[in-house]
Structure 1
Amino acid sequence: MDVVDISRWQFGITTVYHFILVPLTIGLAPLIAVMQTVWHRTGNEQWLRATKFFSKLFLINFALGVATGIVQEFQFGMNWSEYSRYVADVFGAPLAMEGLVAFFLESTFIGLWIFGWGRLPRRVHLACIWLVAIGVNASAYFIIAANSFMQHPVGVVWDDVRMRPRMNNFLAVITNNTTLVAFPHVIAGAFLTASTFVAVICLWWMARNGYRARKLEQASLSGDDTQVPATTSPSQIDATPERLRHDNVTLWRPVALLGLWVVIASGIALFITGDQQARLMFKQQPMKMAAAESLCETETGASFSVLSIGRQNNCDNIEHVIQIPNMLSFLSDHSFDSTVQGVNELQAQYQQALNMPNQNFAPNLFVTYWGFRAMITWALGSVVVAIGGLWFLRRGRSEIPRKVGTVMLWMLPTPFLANASGWIFTEMGRQPWVVVPNWADADGDPLRIHMLVQDGVSNHTPPIVWTSLIGFTVLYGALGVVWFYLQRRYVIEGPGEKDAIAPDVGADSDSDKPLSFSY
């Protein structure tokens, strides 16, 4: 591989790894704020236990997200310095807003929230977690605004002196219509991830408690306690069947229902915002739309490809096996008989418009086609969780079969994989551009503002980039093991009994340590 390919692999690996952590942070912060608000309003100690339990998992994810996010921004200077120089006059503003406003907001108030248990008044402490939730979502907005410029450059003019775009309208950059459509879609995906995370853990605990309660009852009747499953949770060592079922009814079931209903709401939001993104992509990036369907020739009343076979990166050898007639045209602009341009026609148009007769403007069709379908398929895992969870919790039920709890646990990675697949599709479908020409307003300067991927890399030799690629991959792999180990440990351990004790402002006893819920 040449330096361009290696640099792309490095950026892709660090980005995908970082974005495994991001959706959970964005979605879980508001959910924890809701849990703490319910406790604040009702005084129900079980919601306090839920708040502190999921706070442990949130803080682990947040810490690794910050660490990988910082490295992510270093990528712009490491392997993509030419790209950074090209977009410097544009990216500076939204990235500065993300750092100075959003990140400082979340990092400041998360500190107050962590150390403020028992030290801040309850209302002030509650406000801190809501400000953290606002901060993480605001951070996402400014990052997406910067990314949207790469997808659809607006708010700039061409600078003939510096030979790069210069921002002349900050408001246009941060209100880019691509941003306004992409942001709700990303946030809906984050809420889907976090709510599935919460619901699955609650359902698994309900199955675990029910199984353990039945074994304890059987042991009590038979006088044989050797068949009782061992537990590593301190709160369950001396638990009785009554206490386990009480936790199911008062703790796990209400929180599971919160997660399940948010799964449904975010799934509906994803469907609506995804439709909006498809119609906008049809106008702004028709090549990505064609590549997503491996549509090589222009068609009127184009069909949606459910399955195709062949060497999918080669338009001469693709066979669409299963199709839905006219559906691609409908997804493009809500008309069943609209015309959708194919890869070959768009390739000829781009070569002529940009006077680049030897440049291939088509992305990798295989990755784009299957990335789009992987995104949809993985998201169905959350649908299984929502339907299954609500079915087993109907009519006030709090018993979950053990096998169902195991199946739910296997569904936990699916929203993470759906988010990663969506970003792979979005970014790979943009290739070979790192800044896509503004085809929607293709007159004068807007069309002139563009950059190919090979023009954005730094002037490094392949061994240098290989060294950093291998180093980051090994380091991130180790961090991934640590992340999984900590999440698994604290999920299995569960909420502690002392987490139900409401901290008193000014208390100095050992039981009221501010960090007692986070180690």
Structure 2
Amino acid sequence: MDVLDLSRWQFGITTVYHFLFVPLTIGLSVIVAGLQTAWHRTKKPAYLRLTKFFGKLFLINFAMGVVTGIVQEFQFGMNWSDYSRFVGDVFGAPLAMEGLMAFFLESTFLGLWIFGWDRLPPRLHLMTIWLAAIGTNLSAYFILAANSWMQHPVGYRLNPETGRAELTDIWAVLTNITTLATFPHVIFGAFVTAGAFVLGVSAWKLMKKKDVELFRASARIAMAVTLVASAGVALSGHWQAQVMTEQQPMKMAAAEALWEDEKSAGFSLFAVGDVENGRNHVNIQIPYGLSLLATNTLDGEVEGINDVQARYEALYGPGDYTPGIGLAYWTFRLMIGFGVLAGLLALAGLWLTRRGRLPSSPWFYRIAVLGIGLPFLANSLGWIFTEMGRQPWTVYGIMTTASAVSPGVDVAEVATTLVGFTLLYGVLAVIEIRLLLKFIKIGPVEGTTGSGDESETGTGTTPALSY
């Protein structure tokens, strides 16, 4: 491997690893805020116990997300200095907003929430967790705005004297149609992730017959969140597919192994292709499915790989403008499949727990625990498809990945840091899992009722939980 390949591997590994924590943090922040709101309104101790229990798990995950996310910033300067020089004026703006506005908002009010039990009036304390949740979602928006600019660059001009992209319209960057389509898809995916996590934890406690009524309630909440969010993922994904078809036709063609322009195109379920000769040997399809997904019509035309390749050669010059077809094809399918399974699991769980019931067989609980992994797999595969399907571009249409890598870095340096980060992240994964399992096993603190009569004074004698 050369420096380019190793740099791509390093960025891919660290980014996918970091994103394991991001959606869970986004979704759990709102779920915990919702649980505390329910306790504030009803004064039922069960909601307070659930708030503090899942709040601990949220904080563990948040801390790991912050630690692993820092590495991403350094890689832009270390491994991708030509990219940073070229787009820093544009790409840096939404990232600066994320750091100066969103991250400080979430971290400041999360600190107040952690240490504000028994110290802040109840309404003010409730506001801190909601502001932290809002900051977490804002942080996602700004980062997605930066990434969406790479997918569909807007609001810039190329300076021929400096050879750099320069920002001309920050509002165009922040309201990029790609951002507007991607943000709800990512947020709904985060709620599916958090819902599946809460469901899996609740199922494990129910299987152990611990706090049955408490965790039946949390399981039902989690299943409702997961089911509604799964529908949101499907609808927002449909919109995102249409935007992608218009902006990055090669990515959509690769996702469907569609080689030639086609009207009334079917959605491929299983294909065996001949990449060298640009055709499929086997292709099992749902009739009209791709045209409906990509154009909202049954007879819409979708561009094929061969046709887009010829058009790009005429537009950008000789070269291979196709991503890894097999990788794009299967990550797209597996992303959808794992997401659908998460939604079906939530639907089945709501049916089995209706009218105060609980599943009599342990199989549902076991499947629900394993189901924690479904949205994590869907999220990771979705981002692999999004980024790998854009190749060979780093910034679509204006900068290739090969021209973005740092010229002064050698193979030994990148290989050393790649191995080092992989080992370090393996250790962090063990720490994360051990901490989560420890506090899940301990469960909600018995007799947690808040700080005295918090509905009136916000002070009392119950000590704050140690996070």
- Shorter-chain TM range is over 0.9
Letter in 1 for 2:229: S
Letter in 2 for 1:339: E
Q: Tell me whether 317-326 or 302-311 shows the greater mean CA deviation.
A: 317-326
Q: Identify the residue that residue 285 of structure 1 maps to in structure 2.
A: 248
Q: Identify the residue that residue 212 of structure 2 maps to in structure 1.
A: 248
CA distance in 2, matches of 1:139, 1:515: 27
Q: Which runs of 5+ in 2 are unaligned?
A: none
Q: Structure 1 residue 432 and structure 2 residue 392: aligned? A: yes
Deviations along 1:7-55, one digit per CA (max 9) or x if unpaired, are 0000000000000000000000000000001111111001000001101
1:207–1:404 CA contact under 8 A, matched in 2: no
Moved over 6 A (4+): none
CA distance in 1, matches of 2:65, 2:190: 14
Q: Structure 1 residue 497 and structure 2 residue 446: aligned? A: yes
Larger radius of gyration: 1
Q: Identify the residue that residue 118 of structure 1 maps to in structure 2.
A: 118
Structure 1 length normalisation: TM-score? 0.86
| CA drift at 1:253 | 2.1
Q: Identify the residue that residue 474 of structure 1 maps to in structure 2.
A: 423
Q: Identify the residue that residue 241 of structure 1 maps to in structure 2.
A: none
Structure 2 length normalisation: TM-score? 0.96
Q: Identify the residue that residue 145 of structure 2 maps to in structure 1.
A: 145
2:3–2:414 CA contact under 8 A, matched in 1: yes
CA distance in 2, matches of 1:159, 1:320: 48
The change in CA–CA distance for 1:318 and 1:488 in structure 2 (over 3 A counts) is farther
1:206–1:399 CA contact under 8 A, matched in 2: no
Correspondence list, 1:57-456, <5 A: 57-209=57-209, 247-249=211-213, 251-310=214-273, 313-316=275-278, 318-354=280-316, 356-357=317-318, 359-398=319-358, 400-437=360-397, 450-456=398-404
The change in CA–CA distance for 1:54 and 1:137 in structure 2 (over 3 A counts) is same
CA distance in 1, matches of 2:292, 2:415: 44
2:103–2:136 CA contact under 8 A, matched in 1: yes
2:451–2:459 CA contact under 8 A, matched in 1: no
The change in CA–CA distance for 1:315 and 1:291 in structure 2 (over 3 A counts) is farther
Letter in 2 for 1:318: N
Could you tell me which of 419, 424, 433 is aligned with 1:484? 433
1:296–1:315 CA contact under 8 A, matched in 2: no
Q: Structure 1 residue 31 and structure 2 residue 50: aligned? A: no
Could you tell me which of 403, 411, 426 is aligned with 1:462? 411
Letter in 2 for 1:463: A
2:273–2:281 CA contact under 8 A, matched in 1: yes
* Percentage of matched positions with identical amino acids: 51
Cα RMSD for the two superposed structures: 1.5
| CA drift at 1:309 | 1.9
2:198–2:219 CA contact under 8 A, matched in 1: yes
Q: SS at 1:322's partner residue? A: strand
Letter in 2 for 1:107: S
Letter in 2 for 1:184: P
CA distance in 2, matches of 1:347, 1:292: 15
1:371–1:425 CA contact under 8 A, matched in 2: yes
| CA drift at 1:176 | 0.3
Deviations along 1:214-235, one digit per CA (max 9) or x if unpaired, are xxxxxxxxxxxxxxxxxxxxxx
Q: SS at 1:499's partner residue? A: coil
Q: SS at 1:464's partner residue? A: helix
CA distance in 2, matches of 1:463, 1:91: 29
2:278–2:306 CA contact under 8 A, matched in 1: no
Aligned pairs, number: 462
CA distance in 1, matches of 2:279, 2:303: 19
CA distance in 2, matches of 1:515, 1:201: 20
Letter in 2 for 1:273: S
| CA drift at 1:310 | 4.4
CA distance in 2, matches of 1:320, 1:302: 15
| CA drift at 1:501 | 4.6
CA distance in 2, matches of 1:314, 1:506: 72
1:207–1:400 CA contact under 8 A, matched in 2: no
| CA drift at 1:506 | 4.7
CA distance in 2, matches of 1:20, 1:152: 25
CA distance in 1, matches of 2:118, 2:111: 14
Deviations along 1:141-197, one digit per CA (max 9) or x if unpaired, are 000000010000011122122112211111001000000000000000001100111
Letter in 1 for 2:445: G
CA distance in 1, matches of 2:276, 2:427: 37
